[in-house]
Structure 1
Amino acid sequence: MPNSAFKVLEILERAIAPISGEAISNELGVTRSAVWKNIKELRLMGYDIQSSQKEGYRLVHSSSKLLPYEVHKKLHTQVFGTNLRYFEHTPSTNSVGKQLCSDGEPKKLHGTVIIAEEQTGGVGRMGRAWISPSGGIWITVILKPQVPVDHIFMITMAGSVAVARAIRKEFEIGALIKWPNDIFIGKKKIGGLLLEMAAEADTVHYCLLGIGIDVNNPVKDFTADLQRDITSISAEVGHEVDRASFLARILREFENRYQLVESGEYDAITQEWKSLSATLENRVQIRTLKNSFEGEAIDIDEFGALIVRKDNGKLERVIAGDCYQQ
């Protein structure tokens, strides 16, 4: 948002009654035509601003877009999200993150959050397409972790816990985590996470945690196949919600858990993950690149691997794969 438009918006937010263009121009030391230009820019960004020749301007509704200005007002984090990169459309927020890290220093980008209103080429696990229309939350958090490579999945676990907790606190909905990286409400998926990293040997150069959540997305807009398996926040609560407030909550929750990961308090993350698990103590079918088997999911270890008791009684440690609950 242009700085001048931001200043006009601040005045409109403070005003308890309609305010004239002349009053705004006098306060900012600019012309009335400059004020009008900024009003038009704000309207294009989704702000509902009424105007009348007699009374002046009045802010009716803030923008429903995930604009950095709206997120920052509610953020209250130390690092995560203090630097926001916003896009109306992008193929993938993770691809933007990779480019930023390639062009700059990942250490300086730590905590940067990339936001897209819509992803045109979103990608999930195993390279699967991730449908990401406007109305959802599609973000990537750039991280320069001080975490051993063998514990890197703890970042995904911390992110999953953060999203589930944010949903529970913000909307009082019983969100749960399905191993390895899906967020469910009841038997329907509402979101997921994807962790990508650049590493060599024991050195992690950077990580990208992608988070995708269906928020103000009408279920009727999904394909018939998806409608059986997917829900959204608005579908669950019966109305559209404040995405900026929700995103700020996610980032606060994630920053708190990420600090535990960085300090090596893996058990705290693991135990909270278990308390929110939709997978443990359930019968599952596991499909990996090598084989497929069934059994009962009984535990998750400190590296994020799922422990399954197979039908023959043997324990199988699953590091990666698809988990289908029966």
Structure 2
Amino acid sequence: MPDSAFKVLEILERSATPISGEVISNELGITRSAVWKHINELRMMGYDISSSQKEGYRLARTSAKLLPYEIHKKLQTKFIGKKMRYLENTPSTIWIGKQLCSEGDVEKMHGMVIIAEEQTGGIGRMGRAWVSPSGGIWITIVLKPHVPIDHVFMITMAGSIAVARAIRKEFDLGALIKWPNDIFIGNKKVAGLLLELSAEADTVHHCLLGIGIDVNVHLNNFSPSLQNSITTISAEVGHEVDRASFLARILKEFESRYLLIESGEYDAIIQEWKSMSCTLENRVQIRTLKNSFEGDAVDIDEFGALIIRKDNGKLERVIAGDCSHQ
């Protein structure tokens, strides 16, 4: 949307009473027909703007879409989310991130957040499809991390902590982290994360942190087989919530943990992750590409691997795999 349309929106937002097209045109130095054009652009973006010949224009309700303009009004970060790319519909925000990184200067894109209202080809772990209807938060954060390659996994940990903390602070819901990268409320999944990176030897070219959260999504958007194992924020609190405010909080929570990682404060991240884990001290079943087994989840090591005490007493270190609670 053109900057002029946002300037019209700013005038409407600060006016407690209806305001005429003539006043708006005089303030911005544009024609009244241009004002009318921008009003229609705003309406197409979901803003409810009433109008009458006698009184003029009035902003009746803000847009429910996850627009960068609305997020930036509430954003309190130094670099995460200062640049945003917004799409109504895309196969995958991670796919868009890959494309941007292949074509541009990743250093300049560091901290960029790619947002989609809906994903038609969302990807979860192990290449699984991720159902991403409108009403959720489907984002990818582009990063050029100055982190040793053996600690890059901590970016996912920072993202998991950020999402769980934001849910707790924003909605007073007891969100917990399930290894390796899912967020649960009770025994139901509400969010998931995925980290993709481009690296060569010890050099990380870029990281793409994908985050998917079921926020204002109706459960009937999901198949019956999924409805018993997932939940949404709106289902938990009983009403739709402000996604822009929620995402602004997530980005703030993530940035503070990300800066800890870049400062080498690894133990602080690990300890916070452990304090919010619903996996540790539980009996789990692990499925890897090679085998499957059961045991007690006893710890997570400095490299993010889950430590399992098997029934024969031996400890097994799991770097990647599926974990289900027994």
CA distance in 2, matches of 1:146, 1:310: 36
Structure 1 residue ranges, 4+ long, deviating more than 4 angstroms after superposition: none
Q: What is the match of residue 82 of structure 1?
A: 82
Match of 1:168 in 2: 168
Separation in 2, partners of 1:323, 1:288: 9
**TM-score of the pair, normalised by structure 1:** 0.99
Judge which range, 51-60 or 286-295, deviates more: 51-60
Q: In the TM superposition, what is the alpha-carbon distance from 1:190 to its structure 2 partner?
A: 0.3
Contact 2:131–2:222, Cα closer than 8 Å, also in 1: no
Deviation at 1:169, TM superposition (A): 0.5
Give the whole-Å Cα distance in 2 for the aligned partners of 1:53 and 1:125.
55
- Structure-1 residue corresponding to 2:158: 158
What residue is the counterpart of 1:192 in the other structure? Answer: 192
Q: Which residue of 1 aligns with 2:218?
A: 218
Q: Which residue of 1 aligns with 2:298?
A: 298
Give, in whole Å, the separation in 1 of the partners of 2:215 and 2:38: 30
The DSSP-based 3-state class of the residue aligned with 1:74 is coil
5+ long unaligned stretches in structure 1 = none
User: CA shift at 1:23, angstroms?
Assistant: 1.1
Instruction: Please name the residue that 1:279 is paired with.
Output: 279
Q: For residues 35 and 201 of structure 1, what CA distance do their matches in structure 2 show?
A: 55
SS of aligned partner of 2:73: helix
**CA separation in 2, counterparts of 1:250 and 1:178?**
18
Structure 1 segment 1-326 matched on structure 2, within 5 A: 1-326=1-326
Partner Cα separation in structure 1 for residue 4 and residue 108 of structure 2: 28
Identity %: 78
**C-alpha RMSD of the superposition:** 0.7
2:300/2:307 contact within 8 Å kept: yes
Moved more, 294-303 or 24-33: 24-33
Q: Which sits farther off after the overlay, 23-32 or 170-179? A: 23-32
Structure 1 CA distance for aligned equivalents of residues 28 and 157 of structure 2: 47
Equivalents in 2 of 1:197, 1:69: separation in Å?
29
Q: What is the alpha-carbon distance in structure 2 between the residues aligned to residue 148 and residue 159 of structure 1?
A: 18
C-alpha separation in 1, matches of 2:279 and 2:179 = 6
> Aligned-pair distance for 1:295?
0.3
Q: Is the 8 A contact 2:106 2:143 kept in 1?
A: yes
Conserved 8 A contact 2:133-2:221 = no
How far did residue 138 of structure 1 move? 0.3
Q: CA deviation at 1:191?
A: 0.6
* Shift, 1:221, TM fit: 2.4
In 2: Cα distance, 1:29 partner to 1:147 partner: 49
Which runs of no fewer than 5 residues in structure 2 stay unpaired? none
What is the CA deviation profile of residues 247-293 of structure 1, one whole-angstrom value per residue up to 9, with x for unaligned ones?
10000000000001111111100000011001000000000001111
Q: Distance in 1 between matches of 2:76 and 2:164?
A: 19
Residues 111-169 of structure 1, C-alpha deviations (whole Å, 9 max, x = no match): 01100000111101110001101100000000111111111111100100000000001
Task: Return the offset for 1:30.
Answer: 1.4
2:131 counterpart letter in structure 1:
I
CA distance in 1, matches of 2:19, 2:89: 34
Deviation at residue 222 of structure 1 after TM alignment:
1.6
Report SS of the residue matched to 1:114.
strand
8 Å Cα contact 2:142/2:208 also seen in 1: yes
Q: For each residue in 1:81-104, what CA deviation from the matched residue of structure 2 results, as whole angstroms up to 9, or x when unmatched?
A: 000000001111001101111001
Please give the alpha-carbon distance, in whole angstroms, between the structure 2 residues aligned to 1:182 and 1:167: 13
Matched residues in 1 for 2:149 and 2:27: separation? 54
Q: What amino acid is aligned across from residue 186 of structure 2 in structure 1? A: G
